Amino acid sequence: AADLPEYFNAAEDLLAANLARHPGKTAIIDHRGTCTYRELGDRVARMADVFNRLGVRRDQRVLLCLTDTRDFPTVFLGAMRAGVIPVPLNTLLTEDDYGWILNNSGAVAVFVSGELSDKWQAIAAAEPFVKFVGSEGGPFDDLEALLADAQPAPDPAPTHRDDVAFWLYTSGSTGRPKGAMHLHGSIRLTANLYALGTMGLREDDVVLSVAKQFFAYGLGNSLSFPYAAGATVVLHNGRSTPDAISALIVEHQVSVLGGVPTFFAGWLAHPSCPTKQDAPRLRIATSAGEALPGHIGKAFADKFGADVLDGLGSTEMLHIFVSQRPGSVRYGCTGRVVDGYRVRLVGDDGSEVPPGEIGNLQICGPTSAIGYWRNREKSTATFCGEWTASGDKYVCDEEGWLTYAGRADDMLKVGGIYVSPIEVEETLSGHNMVLEAAVVGAEDADGLVKPHAYVVLHNDVQPTPSLEQELKDHCKSHLAPYKYPRWITFVAELPKTATGKIQRFRLREDA
C-alpha cells in the first residue's frame, strides 16, 4: 500500500489513465451497445451531482441491486469517486435479505435494475427517507434521466488510500451476512498483484466473466481488472447460461474468460460451446469459487489450447491470492501464492503444520478488508492482526503448490457461491410436513459440491417423489434459488451428539 499515493481515489485511478490514453476506446459492450472510456468517465463524473441532488453525502452507503450493464460501473465508480460507499448486492437474494441489509448497512439510497424492482417495492414503501433509483424500468426515479440532468464534477473526492471505498456482504454458516469493508487502495493492489502481475491481463484483451459484478470475483474480472489494463469488458445482463456465454464469446471474440467450475463443466459438454476455430482469440480462462477438478481444466485446455488458471480468493481478501500461472499449470491443485501475499497453514492449536499435512489456511496481504461492519465478534475471529483466516483447509507441498482439502466449517460453495447449510435446514423445517433436516455437501458426477438434505418427516407423513419435489420448490421459493438441495434423502432420525447437536460429519461420510 505504501507504493500508492497517500491521497488516492480508486475510481479516479481506474479511469484517469484510460481517459488520457485512449478516450475513444470501447470500455464496455453491453446489451445497449458500446460505451467508450470517455462516455464511462462522463457518466461517473455526473454521478457526484446525482448523489448531491439525492442528498447522499460522503461516507454514506448506497446499495446496488443491479444486473450487469454499464449502470453498475457508473454507480459503483461514481460513488467511490464522490467518496460515497457503494455496496453491491447479490441480485438473487430475497426481499427479506434485502430488508435486513438495508437496515444493517444504514444505506440512504438504493439503485435497482427494473427487473429486480418487485423485491424492493414493499421495502421502498416502508422507508420514506431512503431514495430509490431505477435502472432500465421499474417504479423508481430513472437513473438515465438523473444522469442527463446532472453536471459532471471535475474533481474526485480527496479520499485517502486507507479510506473505506466499498463494502461486500458475505454469508457465514450462522447468522446474517457480514459487510466486509474494503479500502480505496485495495482495488489497485488486486489489479497489480493478480490481474496484471499473475494472470497477465493486457490492453488488447476482451474480457467476459460468468460471475456477475456483485461478487468479489466478478467485480475484479469485469470492473477493476479490465479498466486497470485499459481493456474492453463484455457485460451480460442475463443468466450466464452456456448458450449466452458461447454466443458472446464468438460475437465479441473474447480473449479472457472468467468462469467457475460448475459453469465450465456444463459448458464444455454443451452443444453451443464454440470450437477453437470459432473462438481463436480465447487465450486464457480463470476459475475460482470452488476447487477446479483436474479433468475439467484439462478438457478446457485440450479444446482451446489455452490454460485455465484455477485460483483461490475470498471476499475478505477482495480477490485471488493463490493461483496457477500461465505456462506452468498443474491441474488438480489450486496453484501457488500470488506475489505480494503470504499464506500459512495452521493446526487447530494455531501452530504451522509441516508440508504434506492439512492445515487451516491464513493469508497475509495488502488487500484484506479492515473488518465486518457492526460485527466485532466475527471480525476478531477472521482478521487476526496481519493474518486473515480463509475458512478453507489446504495441503502445501515442499514446492509451495497448494491443494484444497475441504472447508474448515460447515459452509458449502455451490457454483462458487457460499451456501449456509443451516439456512437451508431452517427453510426445510419451515415446511409443515418436515420435523427436522440436516444439509451437507455431496459431489455430483463432475466432482462438484451441491447441497444434499437429510429430512425427517412428521410421524404421519409418507415420503414420496412428489413430496421431494415439493420440498425442493419450497426451498427455491423461500431462498435464493441456487441454495436448494439437489438431493433429498428421507431418514427416520438424524445423527446427533449427546447434547442434541447434528453431526453433519457423519452424514458427509454417508453422502
CA distance 251 to 266: 20
Under the binding rule (CB under 6 A), the answer on residue 227 touching ligand 3SK is no
| Residue reference for cell 460471475 | 211
Under the binding rule (CB under 6 A), the answer on residue 168 touching ligand 3SK is no
> Which residue in 375, 384, 408 sits closest to 394, CA to CA?
408
Under the binding rule (CB under 6 A), the answer on residue 107 touching ligand 3SK is no
> By rule CB under 6 A, what string of x and - marks binding of each residue 416-445 to ligand 3SK?
x-----------------------------
Of 246-254, 310-318, 322-330, 467-475, the segment contacting ligand 3SK by CB under 6 A is 310-318
Under the binding rule (CB under 6 A), the answer on residue 286 touching ligand 3SK is no
C-alpha cell at 417: 457461491
Of 73 and 220, the one with the shorter C-beta distance to ligand 3SK is: 220
> Which residue in 78, 117, 322, 90 sits closest to 199, CA to CA?
322
What's the closest the beta carbon of residue 286 comes to ligand 3SK, in angstroms?
A: 9
From residue 420, alpha-carbon distances to 21, 49, 381, 482 in Å are 45, 40, 18, 12
Whether 396 and 335 have beta carbons less than 8 Å apart is answered as no
Of 120 and 300, the one with the shorter C-beta distance to ligand 3SK is: 300
Count the site residues for ligand 3SK by CB under 6 A. 11
What is the Rg, in whole angstroms, of the alpha carbon atoms belonging to the chain? 23
How many CB atoms lie under 10 A from the CB of residue 376? 9
Q: Three-state secondary structure along 158-222?
A: CCECCCEEEEEEECCCCCCCEEEEEEHHHHHHHHHHHHHHHHCCCCCCEEEECCCCCCHHHHHHH
Of 73 and 335, the one with the shorter C-beta distance to ligand 3SK is: 335
The secondary structure of residue 272, as a DSSP letter, is T
Under the binding rule (CB under 6 A), the answer on residue 177 touching ligand 3SK is no
Of 367 and 427, the one with the shorter C-beta distance to ligand 3SK is: 367
Whether 87 and 63 have beta carbons less than 8 Å apart is answered as yes
Of 246 and 388, the one with the shorter C-beta distance to ligand 3SK is: 388
Under the binding rule (CB under 6 A), the answer on residue 206 touching ligand 3SK is no
Of 18-26, 195-203, 308-316, 440-448, the segment contacting ligand 3SK by CB under 6 A is 308-316
The secondary structure of residue 279, as a DSSP letter, is -
Under the binding rule (CB under 6 A), the answer on residue 257 touching ligand 3SK is no
The secondary structure of residue 224, as a DSSP letter, is I
What's the closest the beta carbon of residue 80 comes to ligand 3SK, in angstroms?
A: 18
Of 182 and 283, the one with the shorter C-beta distance to ligand 3SK is: 182
The residue whose Cβ lies closest to ligand 3SK is 313
**Which position among 78, 297, 313, 391 is part of the footprint of ligand 3SK (CB under 6 A)?**
313
Under the binding rule (CB under 6 A), the answer on residue 321 touching ligand 3SK is no
**Which position among 315, 334, 368, 420 is part of the footprint of ligand 3SK (CB under 6 A)?**
315
Whether 30 and 68 have beta carbons less than 8 Å apart is answered as yes
Of 153-161, 248-256, 306-314, 457-465, the segment contacting ligand 3SK by CB under 6 A is 306-314
Half-sphere exposure of 344 (CA within 13 A, CB side): 13
Under the binding rule (CB under 6 A), the answer on residue 262 touching ligand 3SK is no
The secondary structure of residue 508, as a DSSP letter, is H
Half-sphere exposure of 233 (CA within 13 A, CB side): 30
Under the binding rule (CB under 6 A), the answer on residue 314 touching ligand 3SK is yes
Contacts of 502 (CB under 8 A, 6+ apart): 425, 438, 494, 495, 496
C-alpha cell at 276: 477453437
Under the binding rule (CB under 6 A), the answer on residue 217 touching ligand 3SK is yes
Of 36 and 315, the one with the shorter C-beta distance to ligand 3SK is: 315
Under the binding rule (CB under 6 A), the answer on residue 213 touching ligand 3SK is no
CA distance 232 to 332: 31
150-156-158-160 Cα dihedral, nearest 10 degrees: 120
What's the closest the beta carbon of residue 133 comes to ligand 3SK, in angstroms?
A: 27
Of 62 and 361, the one with the shorter C-beta distance to ligand 3SK is: 361
What's the closest the beta carbon of residue 221 comes to ligand 3SK, in angstroms?
A: 8
Under the binding rule (CB under 6 A), the answer on residue 320 touching ligand 3SK is yes
What's the closest the beta carbon of residue 27 comes to ligand 3SK, in angstroms?
A: 22
Tell me which amino acid residue 418 is: Y
DSSP helix/strand/coil, 415: coil
Under the binding rule (CB under 6 A), the answer on residue 289 touching ligand 3SK is yes
**Which position among 146, 256, 273, 288 is part of the footprint of ligand 3SK (CB under 6 A)?**
288
Under the binding rule (CB under 6 A), the answer on residue 44 touching ligand 3SK is no
DSSP helix/strand/coil, 156: coil
Looking at the DSSP assignment, which residues form a beta bridge with residue 337? 322
Looking at the DSSP assignment, which residues form a beta bridge with residue 112? 65, 134
Under the binding rule (CB under 6 A), the answer on residue 263 touching ligand 3SK is no
C-alpha cell at 29: 459492450
Under the binding rule (CB under 6 A), the answer on residue 312 touching ligand 3SK is yes
Under the binding rule (CB under 6 A), the answer on residue 372 touching ligand 3SK is no
* Residue ranges in contact with ligand 3SK by CB under 6 A: 216-217, 288-289, 312-315, 319-320, 416
